Amino acid sequence: MNKQLKVVLVGLPGSGKSTFGRQLAKELAFPFLDLDKLIEERYQLKIAEIFSLHGEGKFREWETLVLEDTLKQDLAFVLASGGGTPCFNDNMDLINSQGVSVYLDVPLASISHRLQSSTAEQRPLFQGLDQVEITLKLKSLVVTREYFYSQAKIKLSGEDFSAELLLAELILNLKN
């Protein structure tokens, strides 16, 4: 494993991986990377287009390739993974072997509220769903994904976690 610190945020869609990741990266003076953006740049398609044109299977294949290439870099960074990233192709094992995984465990009611806005339409798994359907979809995702998320080295629960709190947890994790 290379010596550069790689912090990989995992959690449900809408849990704040990108928003919190930017804050954390700023605190650490690290680059912030968003796995979905890296996939879009490499394949010159939006995530929704990849799902629509090639299906979820191809998306997951490409997601793993980009994740592997990103984690191989000799560079410290904070990476916001996609909500499903840890759950496919042994990606959680890969993340844990190459970096420090952090599970953002945010209450479903908060995530559902966040996804209520137009951002749900930008997320393939939530397109065309109303608020009740979004909440049901989130509950289903928790059941299938919690096993993978719970393998994270650090778990932050609640709605109001700070970059400072995570920095303290990272320091503890690195000392151990």
Q: Select from 56, 107, 87, 108 the least CA-distant residue to 152.
A: 87
Question: 129-165 in b/e burial notation, b at 16+ Cβ within 10 A?
Answer: beeeebbebbeebeeebeebbebbbbbbeeeebebee
> The domain containing residue 98 runs over which residues?
6-105+147-159
32 belongs to a structural domain:
yes
Residue found under tokens 């299977």: 57
CA torsion angle 79 58 112 94 (round to 10): -40
Alpha-carbon torsion (46, 144, 12, 108), positive or negative: positive
**Residue 32: its pLDDT value, please?**
98
Which pLDDT value is given to residue 132? 85
> What local confidence, expressed as pLDDT, does residue 175 receive?
61
The tally of CA atoms less than 13 A away on the side-chain side of residue 171 is 7
Residue 132 lies in a domain: no
- What is residue 133's DSSP assignment? H
Q: Give the pLDDT confidence score for residue 174 in this predicted structure.
A: 62
Whether 176 is in a domain gets the answer: no
- Residue 124 domain-assigned (yes or no): no
pLDDT at 3: 63
- If one counts the domains in the chain, the total is 1
Residues counted in the chain: 176
CB-count burial class (<10 Å; 0-12, 13-18, 19+) for 74: exposed
Q: pLDDT value at position 129? A: 81
Is residue 140 included in any domain, yes or no? no
| 112: in domain | no
Residue at 138 is within a domain:
no
CATH number, domain containing residue 29: 3.40.50.300
Per-residue pLDDT tens digits of the chain, which is 176 residues long: 346 899 999 999 989 899 889 988 988 899 999 999 999 999 999 998 999 999 999 999 999 999 999 999 999 999 999 999 999 999 999 999 999 999 999 988 888 887 876 565 667 778 778 888 888 989 999 999 999 999 999 988 876 666 677 777 777 766 66
